[in-house]
Structure 1
Amino acid sequence: MNEKLWKLHFPAFIGSADKVIKQLMDSAVLVNLPARQQVFYPGKVCDHYLLMLSGSIKAQIIAEDGREILLYHVLAGDSCVLTTSCLLGDNNYPAEGYTETEVSAFAVPAHIFHRCLEQSTFFREFVFRNFSKRLADVIKRMESISTGTVDQKLAKLLLASGEKSLYKTHNELALELGTAREVVSRHLKRFESYGWLILSRGSIQNINFEALNKILDSGNRQY
């Protein structure tokens, strides 16, 4: 049953006196996936409920112009909102997911998921509470992508970590912003010319919080 892993990552399951939850934990299969492996794709049948133990999975869609648009990340302690949606609606996946790092997760067979959802109040509350939270995060992310200038969205992303250095490539930033890498590179080079940051391979250094906050405060690009 991998009790130590349940206790570490999902302690509420261990603490539940529900016999159905015990059956769920007994049926869960521990899966380990390498980095950069496809987990699901559009049209794939959803046959397991995933509970993340470690690592990161990114869910994304491909725009008509070929751009990758990040929907969300699934991290340790999370469940996947698309997987939950597909299981609840008996639908196939509408997007694709890839491991960003090595991933460990519990995979619960779909028929066990549905049985527990029907019979366990604890599990229903867990599933819908996590589904609601993750869906709200996705909506918030889509709103942030669709509003504001590229400068404002990029400034917000650079400020989000609270660190003076950010170790991400231009392509990774473009994926998070839902735009093209060339667009991100152009704006970052302009920021660098203003002395607001220093670009290095695979990282951005000496980020000037004060200057970037002014972009957000101004609501326009007249700085």
Structure 2
Amino acid sequence: MQLQEYQFFKSLEPHAIQKVQEDAKIVSAGVGSFLYYQGDINDGILFLEKGSVKVFLHSDEIGKGEITLYYITPGEQCLVNTLSTISQTPATATAIVDESITGWLVPTKTMQWLVENSPAYREFKVAFCAQRLGEIFQLVEELRFKRMDQRVLNWLFVQGRGTIHTTHEQIATILGTSREVISRILKNLEKEGVVSLGRGWIKLMQGFTSLHIPNQKKITR
């Protein structure tokens, strides 16, 4: 995926497009590389050409583990990265490369320039932040209060794409349960025609959100 294919890029004014193209830097990183830690101040916003990044919260207390907020894939943007870069405040989560990445890093000064000089970018960014915050708040609520099957459904929904590349073991680790429990729940969902399962991937079938996540709309990034 090319930078100009990103939704935000398509809406920019000509002078803003030129500015981003001139300042963007090509970057790459291998699996397991940390892009930033909780508390870091980011120095640019990452736009992926390929690969995947996991964004998660972790605790310093032994045994508390971590909570995965979401994964970033080409075409998507990271709320934590965006807010830290533009406001120059500490990141509220940690990001690690899940699948080797290549992409572009647009520096802080360029992104701040866009906020000040591009009405189109400001409008897009407000909508993007509101969308992501709503999804994260929903995830946190579901992780705390809902039954495991509902927690699985909501985690799938928050990933925001039709096909999710993950394993039952990874979901079990994220949600704090066993692989067997996750496998049973996913098999039941497959029987209902809600998902399709394969080795290392889960496909959300048409009607997934309206059937199992009441009063929610799937938002296209």
TM normalised by structure 2 equals 0.70
Matched, 1:57 2:67: no
Q: What residue in structure 2 maps to residue 115 of structure 1?
A: 113
Q: Which ranges in structure 2 are unaligned for 5 or more consecutive residues?
A: 192-198, 203-212, 214-221
CA RMSD of aligned residues (A): 3.9
Say if 1:152 and 1:26 are closer, same or farther in 2 by CA, change over 3 A: same
Counterpart of 2:56, as a letter, is Q
Match of 1:47 among 25, 43, 47: 43
Q: What residue in structure 1 maps to residue 65 of structure 2?
A: 67
Q: What residue in structure 2 maps to residue 27 of structure 1?
A: 23
Aligned residues: 194
1:184 Cα deviation from its structure 2 partner: 1.8
Residue by residue over 1:7-31, the C-alpha shift from the partner in whole angstroms, topping out at 9 and shown as x without a partner, is: 4x22663674431331122100121
TM normalised by structure 1 equals 0.69
Q: What residue in structure 2 maps to residue 99 of structure 1?
A: 97
Say if 1:6 and 1:145 are closer, same or farther in 2 by CA, change over 3 A: same
Residue by residue over 1:92-112, the C-alpha shift from the partner in whole angstroms, topping out at 9 and shown as x without a partner, is: 222211111121222111011
Counterpart of 1:47, as a letter, is D
Higher strand share: 2
Is the CA contact 1:51–1:107 (under 8 Å) kept in the aligned structure 2? Answer: yes
Q: Which ranges in structure 1 are unaligned for 5 or more consecutive residues?
A: 206-215, 217-223
Q: What residue in structure 1 maps to residue 3 of structure 2?
A: 6
Q: What residue in structure 2 maps to residue 145 of structure 1?
A: 143
Match of 2:33 among 37, 58, 68: 37
> For residues 57 and 48 of structure 1, what CA distance do their matches in structure 2 show?
15
Q: Percentage identity across aligned positions?
A: 20
Q: What residue in structure 2 maps to residue 211 of structure 1?
A: none
